[in-house]
Amino acid sequence: MIRKKHAIIWAAIITLTCCLITFLLTSFGIRAMRNAEGEIYISNEQYNMLSRYLELNEIEKLVGELFYRDMDPADLLTGAKRGLLYSLGDPYSAFFTKEELASLYDKLDGVFTGIGIIISPDKDSDAITIIKVYPNSPAEEAGIKEGDIIAGVEGESVVGLDIETVAGKIRGPEGTIAIVTILRNNELMTKEIKRRTVEVDRAAYQMLDDQIGYINIFEFTGNSVDIFKQAMESIQKEGAQALIIDVRGNPGGRLEDVRAIADLLLPEGIIYYTVNRNGEKTVKQSSAQFWDIPLVVLVNGQSASASEILAGAIQDFDRGTIVGEKTFGKAVVQEIISIPKTGEGLKITTAVYYTPNGRMINGIGIEPDVIVTQAGSGIEDDLQLLEAIKILKELLQS
């Protein structure tokens, strides 16, 4: 016998089904006829389209009848939306609830409530790896380190989940506790980390010895362009004669940000171009004005997306030397689309991008001009950085 709670779920299912049919009829412009008995007649083509969506309703009925505990129909619907994007087999496409979408926009603007980390899927194992821990963040204070693998959140495994779902579980209201289980050196450890609002600069800079400027871009989001321009102005005033740009561990960001930064470094020409499913090509170009000094770009296996756009353009223009390890290999473009009716949204892959010379690096990555496979934690033992300094010193002395 169906209990009272199950009856409530059944009522919700019927309501959802009616709403779904009404939505589909309205949204897809389906013209239907109703007879005197109230029966609705539609074409075979229209019926087949509706049937595809009503198949989901059959599964929802079985859940309502058989699942061992009661479920909120709204949660089931959200899960179905997530599943639709997940079924694309694309790790970069995802569904966002209203709250998750607002949090995503805040993060892109450089302000978010969380623990202060950047995460990325490992290209070999797909494990969600911490590739950046921001200074003075809750994560740093809790002892989280770059290279830690996130194994669970709130006591539940996150193995196999997409990166946006994992990030959404870690974020939360200020003052609440995130329980994060990490894997480090084959040892599991659980950290209780108090969330707070984190405002971070997405780039940092300094002058090194021998008149070499150094700019580290953490992500191409937030204030990355403004900080990069400040960095260029500052190190120019300090007499920089060569420049190192560090995008190691940079997972990417906004295309408009990397285009603006690349425009300051490249002569006139194509920075990158994209091609969508219809074969339509969109070209982004640089102007003729740029800072023409010796340049090295540092990359590693976690340099992805916008970082690879910058490194690929520098390489194709023969504008500088790429040093480090082969990059991640993400050459696809996402758009964030909001759904006004619900406040929800999608991040969906809409195009692939190519380097100026037409290289398609998705799943391949960019091979550095000089391969250095070991990097330490400080300037004195960071072999990749030391190699970059060596290259620039030789260029300045020649």
The residues annotated with a catalytic role in the active site are: 305, 316, 330
Q: Are 178 and 195 contacting, i.e. CB atoms less than 8 angstroms apart?
A: yes
Of 264, 252, 226, give the one whose Cα is nearest residue 353.
Answer: 252
* Dihedral angle sign, alpha carbons of residues 305, 309, 314, 315: positive
CA dist 246 and 26 (Å) reads: 52
Strand ranges across the sheet with 295-299:
203-208, 212-217, 242-246, 295-299, 321-324, 370-371
**Cβ neighbours of residue 160 closer than 8 Å, sequence gap 6 or more:** 126
The Cα angle at residue 31 between residues 29 and 37, in degrees rounded to 5: 140
Amino acid letter, residue 177: I
Helix (H) or strand (E) holding 113: strand 111-114
